[in-house]
Structure 1
């Protein structure tokens, strides 16, 4: 895969690898993304964007495969252990398990196909895919853009830990915004009630 990084078709290859990895291809696009970003750090975020779009569209294909084929198709493609692991995460986190898939050793395609099999809400499934995969790829792109090729070893060694930290911050931000919105809504409703009583 790394040989593609110097090819004039590298960006197309990156998109294709990211697309198929989300539904059928067994090899993640991260090595190609890192190689391309290290070779051209100024383009790192563009490469991350290409990777994200390809991966999210591939996730949609995986969802449709799972939706139409159901458990029989999933069991032909994956071990029962992987399917059960994905289902446990769905049971606990619903569609947001897709975000967790960014830093689990379970292949992403297991989550996309079982997500369709479980008939998860599709718009939320796509949003979770965008946040999870975008967070993963843009983290890589941003690190290489900021620190240059010297960061490659750190990414290779601590990638899962860095991804977990990013996702914790991302989820924490969404939770904070959600609760802040509820708090402001309650304050506004209480203020309206006080005015109505005057």
Structure 2
């Protein structure tokens, strides 16, 4: 069962809370499909009258900000030991190369690394814990974290929602156009077949008359 089917089967309030929870857990440093859940919920809202895309964006933003802040505190306390343990458990996300690359970016970009890290899958997981382990000043981290979380969550929700609405309208229009085209083609084919059958019938009767005349 895919994420779309899971979201369709639960009440709207639970969808909002699920989106916020998954994004929060991903942001604090545990690799979960936060972006996939957010996109699926926003797309579902475009065709589901019970879901409000505003609440999806709000809960996703809150989850991103809170999750990154918890991840920051974990990184501040755990530091390098945390990444050594995570590298063994999740080598695809916290391998030495991933962490080293992220550290170089944080040293070079500072707040911008936190802000833009929200839009990159691996950095989205690493941003909070890594900023804490590198002792980034928390108010600076919080500003970049909040701006990145709100723009990422709100922007993604709005974009996917409106794309879904447009696609739904286009598909409905396409369905009506397809039905109309099918009717037109059906009528044309029927008329052509009738004409051919009439011609064949005329030809047959003429042949029979000739044969009778010869006989």
Same fold (TM over 0.5): yes
Q: Which runs of 5+ in 1 are unaligned?
A: 153-198
**Structure 1 match to 2:21:** 16
What SS does the aligned partner of 1:103 have?
coil
**Structure 2 match to 1:5:** 7
Q: How far apart are residue 146 of structure 1 and its match?
A: 3.6
**Structure 2 match to 1:120:** 136
Q: How far apart are residue 88 of structure 1 and its match?
A: 0.8
What SS does the aligned partner of 1:97 have?
helix
* Paired residues for 1:75-86 under 5 Å: 75-77=84-86, 78-86=94-102
**Structure 2 match to 1:68:** 77
How many residues of Structure 1 are paired with residues of Structure 2 in the alignment?
Answer: 152
**Structure 2 match to 1:98:** 114
**Structure 2 match to 1:148:** 164
Q: Is the 8 A contact 1:82 1:110 kept in 2?
A: no
What SS does the aligned partner of 2:52 have?
helix
What SS does the aligned partner of 2:103 have?
helix
Q: How far apart are residue 107 of structure 1 and its match?
A: 4.2
Q: Residues 18, 89 of structure 1: CA spacing in aligned structure 2 closer, same or farther, 3 A cutoff?
A: same
Q: Is the 8 A contact 1:95 1:121 kept in 2?
A: no
TM-score, normalisation: structure 1: 0.69
Q: Which runs of 5+ in 2 are unaligned?
A: 87-93, 169-215
What SS does the aligned partner of 1:52 have?
helix
Please tell me whether Structure 1 or Structure 2 has the larger radius of gyration of its CA atoms: 2
Which 4+ stretches in 1 moved above 3 angstroms? Answer: 1-4, 144-152
Distance 2:143 2:37 in 1: 24
TM-score, normalisation: structure 2: 0.64
**Structure 1 match to 2:64:** 55
Q: How far apart are residue 151 of structure 1 and its match?
A: 5.8
Kindly report the root-mean-square deviation, in angstroms, between the aligned alpha carbons of the 2 structures.
Answer: 2.1
Distance 1:12 1:134 in 2: 16
Q: Is the 8 A contact 1:63 1:117 kept in 2?
A: yes
